[in-house]
């Protein structure tokens, strides 16, 4: 599809499933060029092929957000190919739930590495390029867990509170850069499939699964923020199932 004057170069981390995948679909359909990153490159390749058949413009690259060199290669590669980066969506995340007394320290570290360090790595890689141009948009995917704490989610909530805090600092320090936090409530995805205490996982599923909103609902919120004019910065959007507090 021909790039329209309003089409943007949009980088999405964690685009191989769930909210990232839905966001890739939404933004490609809106006419943007999407650059998709994640570790499961087979998934990304299939998605890129599908988006292209549908008339979109999409590329993919292997990405591990826990590694600064990987994030730099992802961002710099897109910048070299296209001459600019308009939007970076720090979406990659993990949520292995357990109580603190279970002491699953490796999973705590992994959550901090992906959810918090991953977003910081994206900022470290993209912000200088955006500042040099005097324009850009960083979208961080937060969570309702950035606003409230629940048992079994203490570390996950800590990472998401932190993502919200650093987003506010990023916004205050950079008046030429748009900063958005999109915070979903329970959303249908693969987030609960990996790690955590199996009993907790089953309990959360039983309580929430039937109420989960589709990932496309969150993608629509991201699409809304991206679509605003350059002088309009949507700072925070919370999108949750109507029936869940
Ligand atoms: P999914 O598990 O479906 O998607 C997570 C994505 O993150 C995958 O594409 C995964 O790709 C990627 N990812 C994980 N680790 C890494 C890594 N080290 N490097 C690069 N990519 C990585 O879950 P969601 O779509 O739900 O999650 C997306 C975001 O939404 C997360 O930040 C999550 O915290 C947030 N969120 C989700 C909610 C929900 O209810 N689903 C609610 C609130 C917030 P791969 O494994 O291929 O690398």
Q: How many other C-beta atoms lie within 10 A of the C-beta of residue 94?
A: 19
pLDDT digits (tens, 9 = 90+) for 3-32: 555 799 999 999 999 999 999 999 999 999
Ordered by start, the domain boundaries in the chain are 9-229
Pocket test for ligand 1, best of 11, 13, 14, 37 (most atoms within 8 A of CB): 14
Active site residues: 156
What per-residue confidence (pLDDT) applies to 5? 54
pLDDT for 216 equals: 98
The pair of three-digit structure tokens given for residue 121, joined into one six-digit string: 């790595």
State yes or no: pLDDT of 156 exceeds 90.
Answer: yes
Task: State how far Cα 77 lies from the chain centre.
Answer: 19
For residues 58-80, give the mean pLDDT.
Answer: 98
- Which DSSP string corresponds to 5-36? TT--EEEEESTTSHHHHHHHHHHHHTT-EEEE
CA of 40, closest atom in ligand 1: 47
Q: How far is the CA of 2 from the centre of ligand 1 (A)?
A: 30
Rounded mean pLDDT, 71-79: 98
Return d(Cα 96, Cα 75) in angstroms, integer: 27
Q: ipTM of this model?
A: 0.99
Candidate from 148, 167, 189 with most ligand 1 atoms within 8 A of CB, to mutate: 189
Tell me, using a 6 A CB cutoff, whether residue 71 lines ligand 1: no
> Of 197, 188, 206, whose CA–CA distance to 153 is shortest?
197
| Structural contact between residues 190 and 142, judged by C-beta atoms closer than 8 angstroms | no
Q: Are 6 and 31 in contact (CB under 8 A)?
A: yes
CA of 91 to the centre of ligand 1 (A): 6
Which residues pair with residue 10 across a beta bridge?
34, 87
For residue 245, what pLDDT is reported? 72
Q: What is the pLDDT of residues 196-219, one digit of tens each?
A: 999 999 999 998 889 999 999 999
Question: CATH: 3.40.50.2300, 3.40.50.10470, 3.40.50.720, 1.10.150.120. Which one for 9-229?
Answer: 3.40.50.720
Q: The whole model's pTM is what?
A: 0.98
Does residue 172 carry a pLDDT above 90? Answer: yes
For ligand 1, atom 32: residue with the closest CA:
93
8 Å CB contact between 139 and 182: yes
Cα separation, 57 vs 177, in Å, equals 24
Q: Is 204 in the pocket of ligand 1 (CB under 6 A)?
A: no
So what's the pLDDT on residue 244?
Answer: 80
Using a 6 Å cutoff on CB, does residue 187 contact ligand 1?
yes
- Count of CB atoms within 10 A of residue 128's CB? 11
Query: What does the alpha-carbon distance between residue 193 and residue 168 come to, in Å, rounded to a whole number?
Result: 30
pLDDT (mean) for 171-183: 98
3-class secondary-structure state, position 84: coil
Q: From the CB of 23, is ligand 1 less than 6 Å away?
A: no
- Residues 226 and 128: their CA atoms lie apart, in Å, by 20
81-112: pLDDT as tens digits: 999 999 999 999 999 999 999 999 999 999 99
């Amino acid at each position: 599809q021909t790039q329209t004057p309003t089409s943007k170069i949009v980088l999405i981390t964690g685009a191989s499933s769930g909210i990232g995948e839905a966001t890739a679909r939404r933004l490609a359909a809106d006419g943007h060029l999407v650059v998709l990153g994640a570790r499961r490159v087979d998934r990304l390749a299939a998605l890129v092929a599908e988006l292209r058949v549908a008339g979109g413009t999409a590329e993919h690259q292997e990405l591990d957000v826990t590694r600064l060199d990987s994030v730099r290669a992802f961002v710099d590669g897109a910048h070299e190919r296209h001459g600019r980066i308009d939007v970076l969506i720090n979406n990659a995340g993990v949520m292995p739930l357990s109580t603190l007394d279970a002491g699953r320290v490796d999973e705590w570290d992994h959550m901090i590495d992906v959810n918090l360090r991953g977003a910081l790595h994206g900022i470290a890689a993209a912000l200088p390029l955006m500042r040099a141009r005097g324009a850009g948009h960083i979208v961080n995917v937060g969570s309702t867990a950035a606003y409230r704490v629940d048992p079994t989610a203490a570390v996950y909530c800590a990472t998401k509170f932190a993502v919200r805090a650093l987003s506010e600092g990023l916004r205050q320090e950079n008046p030429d850069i748009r900063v958005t936090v999109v915070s979903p409530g329970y959303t249908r995805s693969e987030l609960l499939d990996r790690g955590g205490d199996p009993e907790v996982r089953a309990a959360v599923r039983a309580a929430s699964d039937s109420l989960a909103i589709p990932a496309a609902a969150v993608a629509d919120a991201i699409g809304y923020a991206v679509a605003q004019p350059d002088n309009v910065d949507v700072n925070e959007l919370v999108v949750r199932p109507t029936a869940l507090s």
